[in-house]
Chain A
Amino acid sequence: MFTTDHAFYLWMSYGAAAAAIVAEIVMLRLRRARAAARIEEERDLETTD
C-alpha cells in the first residue's frame, strides 16, 4: 500500500509520526543528560571549594 496512488499521503503521515516520536525521544534523552551533567558539575565545584 506504500506504493499505490496514495503512497505519498501514507508516507507523509507515517513518516511524520515516526519522526515526531524519534525527535521527542532524542530531546528527552538530551534533557536528562543535561540535568545529570549539571548536577555532576555542581558536585565537582563543591568538592574543589
Chain B
Amino acid sequence: MPNQGNLEGLEPIEEIDAAGLIPTPRTTETGLRINIRGRSIRLRRLRRPPKGLLRWLLILGPGLIATSAGNDAGGIATYSSAGAKFGYQLIWVMVVLTLSFAIVQEMCARLGAATGRGLLDLIRERFGVGWTLFAVAIIVVANSGVTLSEFVGIGAASELLGVSRYISVPVCAVLLWYLVIFGSYAKVEKIFLLMTLVFFAYPIAAIMGKPDWSAVAEGAFIPRIQWNSEYIFLLVGVLGTTITPYIQIFQQSSTVERGAARRHYGDERVDAYVGSVFSNTMSVAMIIATAATLYVAGQNDITSAADAAKALEPVVGSAAKYLFAVGLLGASLLAGAVLPLATAYAVSEAFGVPKGVNLDFRRGRTFFTIFTALIVFGAAVALIPNVPIFPLLVGIQVLNGVLLPIILVFILLLINNERLTGDLKNTPIYNVLGWGTFALITTAVVVMLGGQILELLGIKLF
C-alpha cells in the first residue's frame, strides 16, 4: 500500500490528464478523503455528514418546533375542555391516539416521498373526478371550520390582552393575506413560531400544578368510557383535533416540498414519528395542567380564554393570562396563514390549475380566490357577536373528527396501491393499525351521531 500520508502536490504529473496540478492547499482541513482507483484524494467540496446527536437535531429540529405549533386555537380549546370537564379521564384516549397519529402522519409522509405528489393529486389520478369533488368538498368544509377557529383564537387572545376583536381580527386577516401573497411570510413565520414556544409552559404547569399522579396514571392506562353524550362528544373532538385532516394533507405536501426521495425515506419516517409523539405529549401536558387547576377546583366549564389560561397559573401566577394570550395569538396566526394556503394548494391540485403564491393573479385565479375566500370567511364569521367561543371551537373539532374517517379511507387505499408506492407500500402491521384506527374513529363517530339523532327523536341513549 502506498504511504497514506498527505499526498497533496505530490501527484505524479502523468496521471493527471486534462486538468491542472493542485495548488498549495489552504490550511483548513475540510472535506473528505476518499480512495478512487487506488489514489487517496482529499475532496474539500464534500462535507462530512453530521453524526450522532447533532444529526438528529438537524433532522428533527424544524419538525419539532412546527408540531408544537400544531396546537392551535381548536386544539387548546378541546384539550383544555377535556381536562376541565373530565379531569384525567380522557388521557388514555390520547395514549392510544399517539400510536394512531404517528401511523397516519407517517403514511402521509410516505405517500408524499413515494409519489412526489399531494393527496388530492393522487385522489384525482386514482379515483377520478367524482370522488375528487367529494374530497374537495370535505376538505373545504373542514378547513373553513379550522380557519374560523384560528380567527376566533386571534380575537380571544387579543381580548385577553385588552384589544377588541373587532380591531384585531380584521387587521390580522389583512396582515396575513398581505404577508403570504407578497412573499414576506417566511420571515414573519419565525416570529409566530417563537410566540408559540410559550406553550412549553404547559408541561411545566402540569408538574407545578401538583396533580395526583396516581389519578393521572389511572386515567392514562385504564380505559374507561363514560356513557354520556358530553363525554362522547368531547371524545370525538379530541380525535378530530389530534388527527386533524388538514395536518395530514399538509404533512404530505411538506414532504413533497422538501424534495424527499423514495430512496432515502428513512429520515422522514423518524421525523413523522418523533413529531407526532412530541405533539401528543404537549397535548397531554395541556390536559393534565388544566385538570390539575380547573377540574380539581370544581370549575368544569370553560367558556372563555381567560378560564383556560388559569391552567398556567402554577407557573406564572397572575401573568398566566398574558402568557396564554401570546401563545394563543402566535399559534392562531401561524395556522391562520397555513390553512387557507394549504387548502388553496389542495384544491388547485385537484383541478389541475396553476398554484403557488408567486403566480400573477390572472394565471392563479382559482388559487388566489380560494385563499382569499377562506380568510374572509374565517374573519367574518369570527366577528359574529355573542357566540360562545370555546364551545364553538370544540364543535369545529368534532366536525373534523366526523370528516376524518373519510380522509383516512383515501389515504389507506392509496398507500396500498402498489403501482403508486412500489416498495414503500404498507406492510401488514401498518394495515392492521391503520384500518384499526379507522374502525375505532368511525365507531366513535357513529355512536356520537347516533346518540344525537336519537336524542332529537326523543330517545335518550345515555
Q: Is B one of A's binding partners?
A: no
